[in-house]
C-alpha cells in the first residue's frame, strides 16, 4: 500500500502540467460527463415506455441496462482503437483489474440500484445516491489513502449535498423510510460507485483507462443482461421500433463517453476534485427532465435555482487554490 501511495503521488506530480489537470479542462469535461449522465434520467424513462418495461419489472430493467452497457463497451473499444491507431486488445495482466471494475462500477452498482429503486421512493433514492460523492472522498482519504481529507473538501461536499436535497424535495415533503431491499440496496450501490472511483484512480496509474473502461463495460453488461434474463426480463423490440433502437444506442454512447472521460480525469486528478462534480448529476437531470418530459413545475422554481447555486459553490470550494 505504501508503494502504491508513492506511485500515485509520483504520477500526479509527473502529470502536474498535463492538459487534464488544468482547471478549465476539469470543469469543461466533468460538466460534459454530468450533462450526459443527467440526460440519462429522462432517456431511461422514455426507453422503458418504448420497450414496454414496467416500473417494478426489475428483470427487464437489468436486461435493458446490460444491453446498454455492453454496447457502450464496444463503442469505447472501437473509438479508442481508431484514435490510438491500434486495436485495444485485452491483456492478461489487466484481466483482474477489469473483473474488479466490472463488478464495482457496472454490474454490482447497477444491480443494487435497479433492485433497490423498485422498493424505494424516487426522492429518497436520489438523495441517497448523492451521498456517493461523500463516500468517494472518504474512501479515497481513509481506505486507499491517495489524498487527505480537508475542511475545504468537507465544506464543498456539504454545500453540494444540500443542493441535491433541495432540488429533489422541490417543496414536497419527504417521508423517509429504510428497508434493506429498497433504500438499503440504493446505499450499497452508492458504496460500489464510490469504491470504483478510487479503483479507477489506482488501476489507471499503470494501465490505459480507455481500455479498462471498454472491457469492464462489456463484462459488466453481460453480467447484468444475464441477471435480467434469469429474472424473466424481456424487451419489446418490435414495439420500440427504430426510435427505441436509436435511443438505446444513444444511452450506450452516454455511458461510453461519460465514464471514459471521467476515468481519464481521475487518472490525472485527485478523486475529490473530480467526484465533487457528481452533485451536478441530479440537478442537470431535473432540468433536462423539465425540457424533455415537460416536468416544468419541478425544475423551474426557486428551490431549483438555489440548489444550482449551492452545488456550484461546493464545486468552487473544493477546486479553489489554497
CA nearest to 128, candidates 154, 155, 103, 164? 164
- For the entire predicted model, the pTM comes to 0.82
Upper half-sphere CA count for residue 119 (Cβ side, 13 Å): 15
In angstroms, the Cα distances linking 309 to 10, 189, 287, 297, 316 are 35, 27, 14, 18, 10
pLDDT, one tens digit per residue, over 304-315 is 778 778 888 888
Work out the number of other CB atoms within 10 angstroms of the CB of residue 319. 20
Residue 129 pLDDT grade (very low, low, confident, very high; cuts 50, 70, 90): confident
**pLDDT for 89 beyond 70:** yes
Q: What is the pLDDT of residue 10?
A: 40
Q: What is the pLDDT of residue 313?
A: 86
CA nearest to 307, candidates 44, 130, 153? 130
Distance CA 162, CA 152 (A): 16
Can you say whether residue 89 is alpha, beta or left, with left for phi > 0 and alpha for psi between -120 and 50 degrees?
Answer: beta
Residue 63 pLDDT grade (very low, low, confident, very high; cuts 50, 70, 90): very high
Residue 75 pLDDT grade (very low, low, confident, very high; cuts 50, 70, 90): very high
**pLDDT for 227 beyond 50:** yes
Of 67 and 144, the one with more pLDDT: 67
Grid cell in block for residue 180:
434493506
Q: What is the pLDDT of residue 296?
A: 60
Q: What is the pLDDT of residue 124?
A: 67
**pLDDT for 219 beyond 50:** yes
> Is there a contact between 148 and 272 (Cβ–Cβ < 8 Å)?
no
Distance CA 117, CA 184 (A): 10
**pLDDT for 182 beyond 70:** yes
Residue 275: in which H helix or E strand, if any? helix 271-275
Mean pLDDT of the chain: 84
- In which residue are the cell numbers 428551490 written? 303
Q: Out of 131-145, 232-246, 269-283, give the one with best mean pLDDT.
A: 232-246
Grid cell in block for residue 91:
491483456
Grid cell in block for residue 82:
481508431
DSSP string, 59-78: HHHHHHHHHHHHHHHHHHHH
Residue 295 pLDDT grade (very low, low, confident, very high; cuts 50, 70, 90): low
Amino acid at each position: 500500500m505504501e508503494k502504491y501511495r508513492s506511485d500515485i503521488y509520483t504520477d500526479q506530480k509527473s502529470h502536474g502540467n498535463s492538459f487534464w489537470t488544468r482547471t478549465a479542462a476539469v470543469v469543461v469535461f466533468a460538466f460534459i460527463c454530468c450533462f450526459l449522465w443527467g440526460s440519462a434520467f429522462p432517456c431511461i424513462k422514455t426507453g422503458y415506455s418504448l420497450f414496454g418495461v414496467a416500473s417494478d419489472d426489475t428483470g427487464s430493467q437489468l436486461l435493458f441496462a446490460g444491453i446498454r452497457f455492453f454496447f457502450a463497451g464496444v463503442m469505447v473499444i472501437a473509438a479508442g482503437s481508431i484514435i490510438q491507431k491500434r486495436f485495444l486488445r485485452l491483456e492478461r495482466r489487466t484481466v483482474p483489474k477489469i473483473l474488479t471494475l466490472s463488478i464495482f462500477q457496472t454490474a454490482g452498482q447497477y444491480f443494487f440500484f435497479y433492485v433497490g429503486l423498485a422498493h424505494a421512493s424516487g426522492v429518497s433514492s436520489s438523495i441517497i445516491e448523492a451521498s456517493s460523492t461523500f463516500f468517494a472522498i472518504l474512501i479515497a482519504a481513509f481506505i486507499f489513502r491517495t489524498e487527505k481529507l480537508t475542511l475545504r473538501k468537507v465544506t464543498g461536499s456539504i454545500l453540494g449535498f444540500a443542493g441535491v436535497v433541495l432540488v429533489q424535495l422541490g417543496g414536497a415533503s419527504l417521508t423517509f423510510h429504510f428497508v434493506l431491499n429498497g433504500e438499503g440496496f440504493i446505499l450499497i450501490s452508492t458504496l460500489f460507485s464510490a469504491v470504483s472511483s478510487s479503483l479507477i484512480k489506482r488501476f489507471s496509474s499503470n494501465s490505459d483507462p480507455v481500455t479498462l473502461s471498454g472491457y469492464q463495460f462489456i463484462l459488466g453488461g453481460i453480467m447484468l443482461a444475464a441477471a435480467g434474463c434469469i429474472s424473466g426480463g424481456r424487451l419489446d423490440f418490435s414495439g420500440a421500433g427504430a426510435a427505441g433502437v436509436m435511443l438505446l444506442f444513444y444511452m450506450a454512447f452516454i455511458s461510453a463517453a461519460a465514464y471514459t472521460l471521467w476515468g481519464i480525469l481521475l487518472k490525472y486528478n485527485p478523486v475529490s476534485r473530480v467526484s465533487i462534480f457528481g452533485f451536478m448529476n441530479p440537478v442537470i437531470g431535473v432540468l433536462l427532465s423539465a425540457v424533455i418530459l415537460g416536468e416544468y413545475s419541478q425544475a423551474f422554481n426557486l428551490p431549483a435555482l438555489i440548489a444550482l447555486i449551492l452545488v456550484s459553490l461546493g464545486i468552487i470550494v473544493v477546486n479553489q487554490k489554497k
